[in-house]
Structure 1
Amino acid sequence: MTKEPGDGRDLDASLKLLWGDRTRPQRGRPPTLSLDRIVAAAVEVADELALTEGLDGLSMRCIAQHLGVGTMSLYRYVPGKSELLDLMLDHVVEVPEPDPDDRRGWREILRDEARGHWRLCMEHPWYPFVDQSRPLLGPNSVRGLDRLLGLLRPTGLPDRTLMMMVGAQTDFVDGIARSCINEMRAERRTGVSSEEFWQAQAPTLIDAMNSGDFPTMADLSEETFEFSHEELFEFGLERLHDGFESLVRAASE
C-alpha cells in the first residue's frame, strides 16, 4: 500500500477506484449499495454543506445517513474520505463530446473552458476548496485535459507552454471562485449581506477619507468598487488571454 505523506490517502486504492477496479466485496455487501451511488451521494451532501460547514462537515457518517445505511458499510467500497474526494472530483467533471466541425480559435476555446470551470465551481461550491496540490487524475479529468490540449495544439506552441497556459487559467478561475464562495459563506453564516457589511463601515471610512491621510482613496470615483465577482472574472480572463496572445502570435511568425 502506498500512502501519500501528510493526507493519509491510500494512493493504490484511489488509483484503482478511479480507473475502474470496483471489485465486489466477498460478503456482507448491502444489496442496494454501490460505489457509484456512494460517490453521487457524497457529492449531494457536499453540495448541501458547501455554504455552511464546508468540506470539514463532510464525513463518512453523514454520507451513510444520507444513503440510509450503516457507516461501516461504506468502507467496503472506499477506504475513507480522502479517497472519496478523489472520486468526487472526477465525478463532477463533464467532458463535451468531440465536435469534428469545431471551428473555434484558441481564445474562444480557453474562454469556454474557463466559463465551464466557473459554472462547475458555482454548482459544486466545495470543488475549488479541495486541496489539489497533488491531484490524482481520473478518467474524466484526463479525458478533458486530452481534449483541451488537442484543441490548442494548432496554435503551434510547445506542449509545455500550453500546459502552463491551462494551469494559469485554472488557478485564476479557482481563485476568483473561492473569493465569491467565501462571500456567500459569510452572508449565510452571519445573516449580514455584503451591502449591509460595507454600509456599517461607511461612517468610519468616510472619516478616514476626510482626514487627508489617504488622498488617492479619497479622490476615487463613486463606482470604483462597484463590480461583481462575475465581472472581475470576465475582466481578468480577457487580460490573461491578452497575455497569451503574444505567445500565440510569436509562434505563428
Structure 2
Amino acid sequence: MGSVPPTTARSSAGDPVRTLELLWREPGARPSQRGPRQGLTVDEVVAAAIAIADEEGLDALTMRRVAQALGVGAMSLYTYVPGKAELLDLMLDTVFGRMPRSDLSGLPWRERLRAVARDNREMYERHPWVLAVSTSRPPLGPGMLAKYEHELKAFEGLGLDDIEMDDALTYLMGFVHSSAHSAADARASQREDSMTDEQWWAISGPLLARVIDQEKYPTASRVGAAAGAAHNSPYNPDHAYDFGLQRVLDGLGVLIDQRASGTAGG
C-alpha cells in the first residue's frame, strides 16, 4: 500500500462544468460522442484509478498508468475523463459514496459522533491517498453530498443552528484527518524500517535515560519516560486517537450544553 505524502493535490482543480457533468452522470455511463463504441465505462476508469492509488499511492497515479491498467491507449482515456484533476474528483466522490455508514438512529449524541469519526478513520485506512488531497473545495458529487447529509444528522436535535452544525462537523473531521495522517505516517515508517517501534524504544529508552540530564530537563525526563513505558513506543496512534476524540467530544459538549440551557458561548 502506498505511503502518505504531504498534500500533493487539490480537489475541484479541473474544469468545473465537465467535472460536475461527470460526477452526476448516470451510473455506468459511457462517453456521449460520435465514433466507434467505447469499450469502457467511466466507472471502470475510476475503479482502476482507485486501485492504483490504494496500492501505490497518489504519486503513482497518472493517466498513462490508468490506461495501462485497463489495457487501452493513453489517449483513449481522455475520451472518458478530461484529465487527472477531474479523475481525482471522481475517485474521491466514489470513495465517499461507497464508505460504510453506521446506523446513527437511537444513539446518544456522543456515540453518534464516535461512529462518524470511526467510519472516516476506517475510510482513511482503506484509502490512505485521500489524506494527501486538500478538499477545501470538495467534489460536489452525489457521494460527497450523501456523506455530508449522513454526518450532519449526528448533530440534529442538539440545539445547534445550521452554521454551528457545519462548524462542529468540520471540527470533528479535522481531528480525524489529522489523527489518520499521523497513524498512516507511523505505519509507513514501520514498513520502511526493519525495526518496529517497540524494538526502537527498547534500545533508545535506556540510552536516553543515561544521556539526558534529569536535573536540566526534569519534567521532560519524567513525562517522556512515563509515556514511553506506557506505550512501549514513542507514539501510539490508537491511544492518541482515543484521547483526542474524547477531548473533541468534551469540547463540543460544552457548546451543546450551552445551547440546551439557552446560554451564549464565549
- Give the structure-1-normalised TM-score: 0.85
Match of 1:232 in 2: 240
Match of 2:165 in 1: 162
Specify the code of the residue in structure 2 equivalent to 1:12. V
1:107-186 → structure 2 map (5 Å cutoff):
107-186=110-189
Match of 1:15 in 2: 20
Q: Which has the higher contact order (CA 8 A, sep 6+)?
A: 2
1:216 aligned to 2:219?
Answer: yes
Could you report, residue by residue, the CA deviation over 1:182-229 in whole angstroms, capped at 9, with x for unpaired residues? Answer: 122223334443334445544653344246321112223744131621
Match of 2:3 in 1: none
Aligned match for 2:250, one of 230, 237, 242: 242
SS of the counterpart of 2:157?
A: helix
SS of the counterpart of 1:135?
A: coil
Structure 1: any 5+ residue segments left out of the alignment? Answer: none
Aligned match for 1:86, one of 89, 93, 97: 89
Alpha-carbon shift at residue 30 of structure 1 (Å): 3.8
Specify the code of the residue in structure 2 equivalent to 1:17. L
Aligned match for 2:58, one of 55, 60, 74: 55
- Give the structure-2-normalised TM-score: 0.81
Q: State whether residues 11 and 85 of structure 2, in contact with CA within 8 Å, keep that contact through their aligned partners in structure 1.
A: no
Q: State whether residues 121 and 127 of structure 1, in contact with CA within 8 Å, keep that contact through their aligned partners in structure 2.
A: yes
**Count of residue correspondences:** 243
Specify the code of the residue in structure 1 equivalent to 2:239. E
Q: How many Å separate the matches in 1 of 2:223 and 2:101?
A: 48
Q: How many Å separate the matches in 1 of 2:255 and 2:45?
A: 44
Provide the identity percentage: 35
Go from structure 1 to structure 2 and tell me whether the alpha carbon gap of 1:114 and 1:211 turns closer, same or farther (over 3 Å shift): closer
Go from structure 1 to structure 2 and tell me whether the alpha carbon gap of 1:192 and 1:15 turns closer, same or farther (over 3 Å shift): farther
Alpha-carbon shift at residue 7 of structure 1 (Å): 8.3
1:39 aligned to 2:46?
Answer: yes
Go from structure 1 to structure 2 and tell me whether the alpha carbon gap of 1:192 and 1:73 turns closer, same or farther (over 3 Å shift): farther
Structure 2: any 5+ residue segments left out of the alignment? Answer: 1-9, 262-266
Q: How many Å separate the matches in 2 of 1:206 and 1:62?
A: 50
